[in-house]
Structure 1
């Protein structure tokens, strides 16, 4: 059982593992865990337009762009979507 806990917080969410096992997008729960916060916090950040990497909304599904997540994990610099933060264009 101890190995399972170690696996969840370690290699499963490393950039090497994500690059090898994820497709073009991943789910919000796994992306949030890779970034170090909970699923609920991830969805809250998405709702506010502040999730640190690009997300796609496809119908009722929200997916995280794997390439963007990897860039954020490797650089530590967030890539905000920006569509929600620039509503006032005047």
Structure 2
């Protein structure tokens, strides 16, 4: 098992690394790892509209908005999909 100090400096899910290497959207699986959640728990939260950051349903896939994920990681405050709910009601 790697030591805690070695993972801190090279954490692939740190906000700095995410900002430098991820594109505008990410997979639910990658976002789940960044939050320390399991894949199944993350998809359950997405289905219930309770995933801690904004998600975009695109066809049969769901993508996580990287900027939203970073805001949540840095602030600790969840950012749910309230905008998508409002646009659905307006249609």
**Separation (CA, whole Å) in 1 of partners of 2:77 and 2:25:** 19
TM-score scaled by structure 2? Answer: 0.80
When the two chains are superposed, the root-mean-square deviation of aligned CA atoms in Å is 2.3
Structure 1, unaligned stretches of length 5 or more? none
**Separation (CA, whole Å) in 1 of partners of 2:76 and 2:2:** 29
2:12 — aligned with what?
12
C-alpha distance after superposition, 1:12-65 (max 9, x if no partner): 100000001100000001101111111111100000000010000110011000
Higher percent of residues as helix: 2
Which 4+ stretches in 1 moved above 3 angstroms?
none
Q: How many residues align?
A: 83
**Separation (CA, whole Å) in 2 of partners of 1:42 and 1:26:** 13
1:59 — aligned with what?
59
Confirm or deny that 1:26 pairs with 2:26. yes
SS at structure 2 position matched to 1:11: coil
TM-score scaled by structure 1? Answer: 0.81
Map residues 40-59 of structure 1 onto 2, 5 A cutoff. 40-59=40-59
Structure 2, unaligned stretches of length 5 or more? none
